[in-house]
Amino acid sequence: MAKTKIPNPDELGKIDYTPPKKHWMDIPVEIKPDMYCHGAKAKSLKVVDFPNARDWTPAEADWKLPEDWKKIVLEGISERLKKYRTFHVFMDICVRCGACADKCHFFLGSGDPKNMPVLRAELLRSVYRKYFTTGGKIFGKTAGARELTLDVLKEWWYYFYQCTECRRCSLFCPYGIDQAEITIIGRELMNLLGLNIEWIAGPTANCYMKGNHLGLEPHTIKSTIDFFVNDIEDITGVKVEPTFNRKGAEILFITPSGDLFADPGIYTAMGYLMLFHELGLDYTWSTYASEGGNFGFFTSNEMAKRLHSKIYAEAKRLGVKWILGGECGHMWRVWHQYHNTWFGPMDFLEEPVSPITGTKFANAKSTKVVHLVEFTADLIKHGKLKLDPSRNDNLVVTFHDSCNTSRGMGFFEEPRYVIKNVCNHFHEMPDDTIRERTFCCGSGSGLNASENMELRMRGGFPRANAVKFVHEKHGVNMLANICAIDRAALPPLMDYWVPGVRVTGTHELVANALVMKGEKERTVNLRNEPLPEKGGDSDV
Amino acid sequence: MGLGLSLTAVIALILLVFAGVKGANLHLLFGAVIPYAAFIIFTIGVIYRVVKWGRSPVPFRIPTTGGQENSFPWIKQNKFDNPSTTSGVIVRMLLEVFAFRSLFRLTKSELKDGKLVHGSDKWLWLAGLAFHWCFLIILIRHLRFFTQNVPFVIQLFEALDAFFQVGVPLLYLTDIFLVGAVTYLFLRRVVFPQVKYISLAADYFPLLLILSIAVTGILMRYFIRVDIVGVKQLTMGLVTFSPVASESIGVIFYIHVFLVSVLFAYFPFSKLMHMGGVLLSPTRNLANNNRMVRHINPWDYPVHVHTYEEYENDFREKMKKAGIPVEKE
Say if the Cβ atoms of B321 and A433 lie within 8 Å: no
Residues A315 and A422 in one domain: yes
Please give the pLDDT value at position B1: 65
Measured in whole angstroms, how far is the alpha carbon of residue A66 from the centre of its chain? 32
Distance from CA of A344 to the nearest CA of B (A): 7
The Cα–Cα gap between A88 and A70 comes to 20
Distance from CA of A507 to the nearest CA of B (A): 20
Please give the pLDDT value at position B217: 95
Please give the pLDDT value at position A4: 57
Of B195, B296, B308, the CB nearest to A98: B195
The Cα–Cα gap between B67 and A372 comes to 20
Q: Which residue of A has its CA nearest to B95?
A: A174
The Cα–Cα gap between A73 and A148 comes to 9
Please give the pLDDT value at position B215: 96
Q: Does residue A188 sit within a domain?
A: yes
Partners of residue B116 in chain A, C-beta under 8 Å:
108, 461-462, 465-466
Mean pLDDT on A275-291: 98
Residues A195 and A223 in one domain: no
**Candidate from A458-467, B116-125, B238-247 with smallest mean pLDDT:** B238-247
> Is the pLDDT reported for residue B49 higher than 60?
yes
Domain ranges in chain B?
2-321
A101 Cβ neighbours under 8 A, 6+ residues apart: A107, A116, A117, A118, B194, B195, B198
Show the 3-state SS of B76-97: CCCCCCCCCCHHHHHHHHHHHH
Q: Does residue A536 sit within a domain?
A: no
Picking from A377, A378, A297, the residue whose alpha carbon sits closest to that of residue A337 is A297
Mean pLDDT on B69-73: 97
| Residue A14, amino acid | K
DSSP per position, A402-446: PHHHHHTT---HHHHHHHHHH-S-B-PPPGGGSGGGPPP-S-TTT
Of B2, B274, B299, the CB nearest to A93: B274
Residues A450 and A501 in one domain: yes
Structural domains in chain A (count): 2
Residues A329 and A455 in one domain: yes
Say if the Cβ atoms of B118 and A337 lie within 8 Å: no
- The one-character DSSP state at A141 is G
Say if the Cβ atoms of B198 and A116 lie within 8 Å: yes
Q: Are A126 and A118 in contact (CB under 8 A)?
A: no
Query: In the beta sheet, which residues pair with residue A479?
Result: A398, A503
> Is the pLDDT reported for residue A320 higher than 80?
yes
> Is the pLDDT reported for residue A2 higher than 90?
no
The Cα–Cα gap between A177 and A163 comes to 15
Residues A281 and A360 in one domain: yes
**Radius of gyration over alpha carbons of chain B, in Å?**
28
Mean pLDDT on A139-162: 96
- The one-character DSSP state at B33 is I
> Is the pLDDT reported for residue B25 higher than 90?
no
> Is the pLDDT reported for residue A538 higher than 80?
no
The Cα–Cα gap between A325 and A294 comes to 13
**Candidate from B149-158, B173-182, B283-292 with smallest mean pLDDT:** B149-158
Partners of residue B192 in chain A, C-beta under 8 Å:
98
Please give the pLDDT value at position B8: 95
Please say whether the dihedral angle defined by the alpha carbons of residues A459, A464, A465 and A467, taken in this order, is positive or negative.
positive
Average pLDDT along chain A: 96
Residues A48 and A151 in one domain: yes
Q: Note the maximum CA span of chain B.
A: 100
pLDDT band, residue B244 (cuts 50/70/90): confident
Q: Does residue A290 sit within a domain?
A: yes
* Structural element, H or E, at residue A252: strand A251-254
Q: Does residue A524 sit within a domain?
A: no
Please give the pLDDT value at position A534: 72
Please give the pLDDT value at position B150: 87
Residues A246 and A150 in one domain: no
The Cα–Cα gap between B307 and B304 comes to 9
Residues A20 and A155 in one domain: yes
Q: Are B265 and B284 in contact (CB under 8 A)?
A: no
Mean pLDDT on B104-110: 94
Of B72, B277, B314, the CB nearest to A93: B277
Partners of residue A122 in chain B, C-beta under 8 Å:
198
Say if the Cβ atoms of A98 and B65 lie within 8 Å: no
Q: Which residue of B has its CA nearest to A226?
A: B322
Q: Does residue A387 sit within a domain?
A: yes
Distance from CA of A169 to the nearest CA of B (A): 10
Of B69, B108, B274, the CB nearest to A175: B274
Residues A396 and A495 in one domain: yes
Please give the pLDDT value at position A398: 98
Does residue B85 sit at the A interface (CB-CB below 8 Å)?
no
Please give the pLDDT value at position A535: 57
Residues A158 and A267 in one domain: no
Of A15, A174, A222, the CB nearest to B324: A222
Does residue A128 sit at the B interface (CB-CB below 8 Å)?
no
- Over the stretch A6-37, which tens digit does the pLDDT of each residue have? 899 999 999 999 999 999 999 999 999 999 99
A33 Cβ neighbours under 8 A, 6+ residues apart: A3, A4, A59
Q: Does residue A4 sit within a domain?
A: no
Please give the pLDDT value at position A1: 43
Q: Are A478 and A425 in contact (CB under 8 A)?
A: no
Q: Which residue of A has its CA nearest to B55?
A: A82
Instruction: Enumerate residues 191 to 210 of chain B having a beta carbon within 8 A of any beta carbon in chain A.
Output: 192-203
Does residue B75 sit at the A interface (CB-CB below 8 Å)?
yes
The Cα–Cα gap between B210 and B212 comes to 5
Mean pLDDT on A500-512: 98
Q: Does residue A2 sit within a domain?
A: no
Domain boundary among A152, A167, A202: A202
pLDDT band, residue A435 (cuts 50/70/90): very high
Please give the pLDDT value at position A368: 97
Write the CATH number of the domain with boundaries B2-321. 1.20.950.20
Mean pLDDT on B11-37: 93
> Is the pLDDT reported for residue A238 higher than 90?
yes
Phi, psi (degrees; rounded to nearest 5) at B175: -60, -45
A111 Cβ neighbours under 8 A, 6+ residues apart: A15, A16, A17, A18
Residues A227 and A147 in one domain: no
Residues A198 and A219 in one domain: no
| CB-CB neighbours of B314 under 10 Å | 16
Please give the pLDDT value at position B246: 79
Domain that holds residue A338: 211-513
pLDDT band, residue B226 (cuts 50/70/90): confident
